[in-house]
């Protein structure tokens, strides 16, 4: 468990990066909507990676700011530990290994309502995983997923399953959440930034303290070796694929122009990087501190 936690500072704010494990994702024609499995395999090969499957990792973070402990996104949830034979859903054990009691989390901030971000709100027995925390969720995301009309019009498959999963999770919490808007200080030193496309209300965060900044991108770019060099590729997991691609370019141009480091939920642990221009896309260069 040497990799259970990685700490760095943004001014006075302490960031603890944790891991919720991983999932092996097959390289097939379902992964991208506008490129083939062989295009994808060629890109992975160029990055020196295996071409049969990709390792998708999950890295929630805890910020200590303004005297509060704030968890950003919750991973796949404890129930996933048994289902995946220990591959994922390991956030709670890694929090404990890092000396962070679940009961001491004051606020949980959710970036968007996909299962790998919200399922960790519940324990395996559907009790709240963070019993003393205020749960903050993006207003647009909440409105969409809790709307019965939207649910009735959802495309069968991934979208209906997401609606059902979100109802399961938030109903277990009695729908007791605080909604936040974009361009709002959600906790001291952290401002919400609208980055829609991956989902309707998908949200990133600017963390700023003492003249230092880091951009918490959530899922603006999923696999660093695929969507940074090929930002216009559209993943199956994006709700509005063209908008997701446009958001990715807009955010990454901003990160390059402002030399702003990025904390990325799905990048390899500890999921902190600098973004550089490279060819027609970008390159994510791993770093360990600001
Ligand atoms: Zn995700």
- Is the pLDDT at 146 greater than 70? The verdict is yes
Q: Where are the alpha helices (DSSP H) in the chain?
A: 37-46, 79-83, 91-97, 115-118, 139-145, 148-153, 158-172, 224-227, 241-257
Question: Residue 1: its pLDDT value, please?
Answer: 43
Question: Residue 169: its pLDDT value, please?
Answer: 98
Cα of 116 from ligand 1 centre, angstroms: 5
Question: Residue 3: its pLDDT value, please?
Answer: 59
Cα of 112 from ligand 1 centre, angstroms: 8
Cα of 271 from ligand 1 centre, angstroms: 13
Cα of 267 from ligand 1 centre, angstroms: 10
Cα of 201 from ligand 1 centre, angstroms: 13
Q: Can you say whether residue 210 is alpha, beta or left, with left for phi > 0 and alpha for psi between -120 and 50 degrees?
A: left
Number of helical (H) and strand (E) elements in the chain, helices listed first: 9, 16
Question: Residue 4: its pLDDT value, please?
Answer: 75
Cα of 67 from ligand 1 centre, angstroms: 28
Give dist(CA 231, CA 244) in Å, integer: 9
Cα of 20 from ligand 1 centre, angstroms: 11
Q: Are 39 and 241 in contact (CB under 8 A)?
A: no
Cα of 105 from ligand 1 centre, angstroms: 21
- Is the pLDDT at 2 greater than 70? The verdict is no
What's the distance, CA 57 to chain centroid? 10
Cα of 280 from ligand 1 centre, angstroms: 25
Average pLDDT for 267-287: 97
Question: Residue 278: its pLDDT value, please?
Answer: 97
Average confidence score pLDDT of the chain: 97
Cα of 185 from ligand 1 centre, angstroms: 23
Cα of 264 from ligand 1 centre, angstroms: 10
- Is the pLDDT at 102 greater than 50? The verdict is yes
Surrounding residues of ion ligand 1, Cβ less than 5 A: 116, 219
Work out the percent of the chain whose per-residue pLDDT is above 90: 99
Average pLDDT for 241-250: 98
- Is the pLDDT at 15 greater than 60? The verdict is yes
Cα of 114 from ligand 1 centre, angstroms: 6
Q: Are 78 and 121 in contact (CB under 8 A)?
A: no
Cα of 75 from ligand 1 centre, angstroms: 8
Cα of 263 from ligand 1 centre, angstroms: 13
Q: Are 121 and 109 in contact (CB under 8 A)?
A: no
- Is the pLDDT at 94 greater than 70? The verdict is yes
């Amino acid at each position: 468990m040497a990799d259970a936690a990685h700490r760095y500072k943004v001014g006075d704010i302490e960031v603890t990066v944790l891991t919720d494990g991983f999932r092996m994702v097959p390289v097939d024609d379902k992964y991208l909507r506008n490129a083939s499995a062989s295009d994808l395999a060629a890109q992975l090969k160029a990055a020196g990676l295996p071409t049969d499957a990709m390792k998708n990792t999950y890295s929630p973070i805890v910020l200590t700011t303004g005297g509060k402990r704030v968890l950003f996104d919750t991973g796949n949830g404890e129930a996933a530990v048994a289902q995946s034979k220990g591959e994922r859903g390991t956030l709670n054990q890694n929090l404990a290994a890092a000396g962070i009691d679940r009961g001491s989390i004051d606020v949980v901030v959710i970036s968007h309502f996909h299962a790998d971000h919200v399922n960790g709100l519940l324990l395996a027995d559907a009790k709240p995983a963070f019993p003393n925390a205020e749960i903050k969720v993006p207003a647009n995301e909440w409105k969409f997923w809790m709307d019965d009309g939207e649910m009735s019009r959802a495309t069968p498959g991934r979208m209906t399953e997401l609606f059902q999963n979100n109802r399961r999770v938030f109903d277990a919490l009695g729908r007791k959440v605080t909604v936040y808007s974009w361009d709002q200080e959600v906790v001291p030193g952290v401002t919400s930034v609208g980055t829609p496309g991956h989902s309707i209300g998908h949200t990133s965060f600017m963390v700023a303290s003492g003249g230092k900044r880091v951009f918490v991108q959530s899922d603006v770019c999923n696999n660093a070796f695929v969507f940074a060099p090929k930002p216009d590729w559209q993943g199956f997991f994006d709700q509005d694929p063209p908008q997701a691609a446009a958001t990715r370019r807009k955010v990454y141009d901003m990160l390059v122009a402002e030399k702003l480091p990025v904390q990325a939920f799905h990048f390899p642990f500890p999921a902190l990087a600098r973004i550089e221009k490279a060819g027609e896309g970008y390159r994510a260069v791993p770093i360990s501190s600001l």
